[in-house]
Amino acid sequence: MRNTALSRIRTIAFFLFILFAVPFLSAAEAQKGQFFRGAERAHIVEETERLAAIQKLHEKDVLSLPGVIGMGVGLDAERRSLVFLIVVDVEAEMPELPKKIEGVAVKVERRPQDIPLDGVPACAQPCHANQLALPVEMGNSGFTNTRCSACTLGFKACKPDTKEVVYVTNAHCSTDVAGCVGGAAVGTGTVHVSPMDAVPQCTLASTIGQVNQHATPSCALGATNTVDATSVTSSAGQTQLSIRDIGVPSAFPGTAVVGDTVQKSGRTTGYTQGTVVSTNFTAVVSGYGCCGTATFVQQIRVDANGPDPFILGGDSGSALLNMDGEIVGLLFSGPSSGSSGNANPIASVLSALNLTLDHTQCIECAATTAAEETPDPEGTLDVLYGVRDRILDKSERGREYIALFYEHSESVVRIMKNRPMLLGETVMLLMEHTPTLAELVSQGTTSFTREEIEEISWLLRAYQKTAEQELDQALEQLDRDLRNEQLLGEFGVYIE
């Protein structure tokens, strides 16, 4: 009985959510913040791969030159072409560098040494170091309870093999008492705010999870790293899916391309935007506790947009997102000036920690069980996943409804287990309207009769009768929106 009830939660959630889904985005709207678009973007991606192969042949020699601390595939924005970006320590003498490598121009920048960006003194508003009530959003202050330092809560994810929901931050934000990166034992508590931000300072604040797994960088001679990351088991009552000042991220990872505008929300500098200036970037990062200097390959390099810092100490662990709300990386280091930041590519982070951004994989599959009870299980599943992936996930509003489902799923389970007749009514209503949902997925618009609206409204009110306060309020708002024809019309849903 438990599996049957749980398996149908998402069926209800999808049915309620589609009423407020936006129509498909146009190609231009789906490319916010991109310097290269369409065929030109595809060409740049191919060129990046070609230059990455050339970089691999020459990088060791370039990085061996005194003062060189980074190299990657960069951008000549004026010529709309790729170059090799070489970063030289601002305090070192300028080495003799080639002007071209295999015919590709070289661009040189002078910057301070890259360091892990944890642990800073108090910051001025609009930083995110304030204590907030739980569940707290990502993008706020958080650290393990082992050391008086400060970092940022990055993003939430799902560990499919164990069905655990976690949040992700950096391994150097999860140390032992000596400050050794990734030294906190599995099960160690993590807190919001960071101990450095607590009042009085260096005391513990609210527990928001326990260390689950580390992907710790190595400083061994000749070692290369792709990830500095830690996952922390954290429930919906402790942390939220949304990111402060950004909103709910996409359930699908994005890919960074040079020239893209990106955004982050962090403990020290709050919400900032930057520009991807290099991919396949190799960064030599000094100052790792109990370790020394670590070399990272295949990284994303971001420069601040304007004179204000993009990322400072305490912002380590921030999620890096494109302007469509897709997570593209995990920020971890940069020069102390804040002019630049380095991020692990999101694909590398998810692979290293065995995670996915699709949280439904940590919930028993309602869609599958419901579909098995219909005449066309495969077709029904296609429709349900289409509503989530092709409509809801394309807008901030849709992603908020997905997050709402995750937040209230346990309450819905209890109602369904206690009221099996209501469960049956929900499944029947879903089966009746599967063709309508399919039309919404395929065409971006659909219609309901007023009688159908009343049926759906009845279902919402039926759930409200035994709902807890927060779920009751959410259902009440859904019922009000359901009767707002102007709002529905904006979302491609019309009343006949």
- Per-residue pLDDT tens digits for 212-239: 999 999 999 999 999 999 999 999 889 9
- Does 371 have pLDDT greater than 70? no
- Does 69 have pLDDT greater than 50? yes
The pLDDT confidence band at residue 307, using thresholds 50, 70 and 90, is very high
Residue 85 has which token pair? 């970006």
- Does 12 have pLDDT greater than 50? no
The answer for residues whose C-beta is within 8 angstroms of residue 142's C-beta and 6 or more apart is 136, 151, 152, 153, 169, 173, 190, 191, 192, 193, 194, 208, 267, 317
Region of poorest pLDDT, from 6-10, 96-100, 259-263, 404-408: 6-10
Q: What is the reported pLDDT for 379? A: 75
Distance CA 452, CA 378 (A): 25
Task: Look over the chain and give the mean of its residue pLDDT values, rounded to a whole number.
Answer: 87
Q: What is the reported pLDDT for 327? A: 98
Whole-structure pTM value: 0.84
Region of poorest pLDDT, from 90-94, 161-165, 242-246, 448-452: 448-452
- Does 157 have pLDDT greater than 50? yes
Residue at token pair 């942390």:
239
Instruction: Please give, one letter per residue, the 3-state secondary structure of the chain.
Output: CHHHHHHCHHHHHHHHHHHHCCCCCCCCHHHCCCCCCHHHHHHHHHHHHHHHHHHHHHHHHHHCCCCEEEEEEEEECCCCEEEEEEEEECCCCCCCCCCEECCEEEEEEEECCEEECCCCCCCCCCCCCCCCCCCEEECCECEECCCCCCCECCEEEEECCCCEEEEEECHHHCCCCCCCCCCCCCCCEEEECCHHHCCCCCCCCEEEEEEEEEECCCCCCCCCECCCEEEEECCCCCEEEEECCCECCCCCCCCCCCCCEEEEEECCCEEEEEEEEEEEEEEEEEEECCCEEEEEEEEEEEEECCCCCCCCCCCCCCEEEECCCCEEEEEEEEECCCCEEEEEEHHHHHHHHCCECCHHHHCCCHHHHHHHCCCCHHHHHHHHHHHHHHHHHHCHHHHHHHHHHHHHHHHHHHHHHHCHHHHHHHHHHHHHHHHHHHHHHHHCCEEECHHHHHHHHHHHHHHHCCCCHHHHHHHHHHHHHHCCHHHHHHCCEEEC
Q: Any idea where the domains of the chain sit in the sequence?
A: 2-22+365-495, 33-363
- Per-residue pLDDT tens digits for 435-472: 888 888 888 888 888 888 888 888 888 888 887 887 78
Q: What is the reported pLDDT for 417? A: 63
Length of the chain: 496
Residue 444 has which token pair? 């971006």
Q: For residue 249, is the peptide bond before it cis, meaning its omega torsion is within 30 degrees of 0?
A: no
- Does 201 have pLDDT greater than 50? yes
Mean pLDDT of 332-353: 97
CB-based burial label for 382 (10 Å; 0-12, 13-18, 19+): middle
Q: What is the reported pLDDT for 368? A: 56
Mean pLDDT of 67-77: 98
Match domain 33-363 to its CATH number in 2.40.10.120, 3.40.50.970, 3.40.50.1000, 3.40.50.80.
2.40.10.120
Q: What is the reported pLDDT for 274? A: 98
